[in-house]
Amino acid sequence: MSLPPLNALPADDAHLREVCAQSREAYRGHFLQVRQDDVLLPDGNTANREYIVHPGAVMVVPLLDDGRLVMERQYRYPMHRAYLEFPAGKLEAGEPGIVCGVRELFEETGFRAAEWACAGELHNAIAYSSERIEVWFARGLVAGERQLDAGEFLDVFAATEAELADWIADGRVTDAKTMVGLLWLQQWRAGRWALTWKPADAWAHD
Amino acid sequence: MSLPPLNALPADDAHLREVCAQSREAYRGHFLQVRQDDVLLPDGNTANREYIVHPGAVMVVPLLDDGRLVMERQYRYPMHRAYLEFPAGKLEAGEPGIVCGVRELFEETGFRAAEWACAGELHNAIAYSSERIEVWFARGLVAGERQLDAGEFLDVFAATEAELADWIADGRVTDAKTMVGLLWLQQWRAGRWALTWKPADAWAHD
């Protein structure tokens, strides 16, 4: 069987598109907002789509001068265990990603970074959440005193790239954003994917 | 500043742990279930945790004999656009991952696979969802006629590993599970991470 390449498919996604007929808020909790929309399918039938509306988040891959990575161990209640992960946090309303990244890195780890690079973005639960996570790299790290939010408890530690890779291979690291952080780090260090570095202020004024 | 390595931290995560005091269902929709739990924090204070209870899912990285990958283009309503991604689907109640993988690969793409390998698992929204995605590889693919569920519309196409990497670098692919699929593929092809291949039946009887 010969399967077509992507560029042999229609460039337009009209034949896949689902069009909103009606949208309502189905649930609003302390943090989670669920919407239920009636949609028109490509074949003219209707269906219901239920999804989380999320403000977005930022992950930071912080690189120490000796090449090691700054990571966190944090308890994640939905799975009732602690996870090894890169620092991350939710965007506040209207907040640029770089501002969130600088804030979360400092609050959670105490580090400030001389230079930042925006690698890209990921969508982590496309079936049912609008969440988008910006992926930032930070280097030129200077340590300070972290300022955890009330009710926030986490360990900060340093890991080599090889350790992180081993922990993913053996299942000790299963956080998807952190795995994507390793992918980007490997590609960048191999010279395959580029990063553009600037001070945080220069990003904020972009 | 000298940041400790992971093995210098307490092996136990008791100092991070959040203990359930009370749990209630806050919302049950067609697909999404939200729970709100009162938890006891490590410092003795209380907090509220709100999260999705998810049945889990399976992603399949299907390898054609010529080395290309089978991928899909599917409209993802929460972001109102189509995504390029590996085949995936939700687990049915009590369903082993391999059974779900075989089913979803066939229904969505028409392919059956001679051999399967379980790479591992990922958690894609650890802040607010219990979702766990098993990552499977499939090879020895034989094409057949796909059988989409009612209301399911998606394109199937073939891509090289280099194309997929380029699409992540330039932001055309942002689906986190698919990015993790590339990470695993690269590591396996480089001989760094191992995969154990067996026919689907042998996995189902494990």
List pLDDT tens digits, range B30-60: 999 999 999 999 999 999 999 999 999 999 9
Which of the residues A19, A75, A132 would you substitute to probe the B interface, choosing the one with the greatest number of B C-beta atoms within 10 Å?
A: A75
Q: What is the mean pLDDT of residues B75-103?
A: 97
Closest CA to A60 of A16, A4, A113, A14: A113
Nearest 5°: CA angle at B161, between B156 and B165?
A: 100
Residues in Cβ contact with A160 at an 8 Å cutoff, skipping those fewer than 6 apart: A67, A68, A69
User: What distance in Å separates residue B204's CA from the closest CA in chain A?
Assistant: 21
Q: Checking DSSP bridges between strand B46-52 and strand B33-40, what pairing results, if any?
A: antiparallel
Domain ranges of chain A: 16-52, 57-204
Closest approach of A205 to chain B, Cα-based (Å): 22
Whole-angstrom distance, CA of residue A203 vs CA of residue A197: 9
CB-based contact A34 B32, cutoff 8 Å: yes
* Predicted confidence band of residue B150 (pLDDT cuts 50, 70, 90): confident
Contact B148/A at CB under 8 A: no
Q: In sequence order, what are the residues at sequence separation of 6 or more whose Cβ sits closer than 8 angstroms to the Cβ of residue A44?
A: none
- For the domain B57-121+129-204, what is the CATH superfamily, name and number? Nucleoside Triphosphate Pyrophosphohydrolase (3.90.79.10)
Q: What is the pLDDT of residue B128?
A: 98
Nearest residue to A161 (alpha-carbon basis) of A68, A65, A86, A87: A68
Taking residues B186-197, report their average pLDDT: 98
Chain A hits for B127, Cβ within 8 Å: 57, 76, 78, 90
pLDDT of residue A1: 52
Calpha distance A51→B1 (Å, rounded)? 43
Give pLDDT tens digits for A152-194.
899 999 999 999 999 999 999 999 999 999 999 999 999 999 9
Q: What is the CATH code for A57-204?
A: 3.90.79.10
The residue written with tokens 């669920």 in the block is A34
Global confidence as pTM: 0.97
Please report residues of B whose CB lies closer than 8 A to that of A135: none
> How far does A201 lie from chain B, in Å, by closest CA?
24
| Secondary-structure percent of chain A, ordered helix, strand, coil, rounded to 5 | 25, 40, 40
pLDDT tens readout for residues A14-63 = 999 999 999 999 999 999 999 999 999 999 999 999 999 999 999 999 99
Closest to B108 measured CA to CA, from B71, B139, B136:
B71
Residues of B in contact with A70 (CB under 8 A): 3
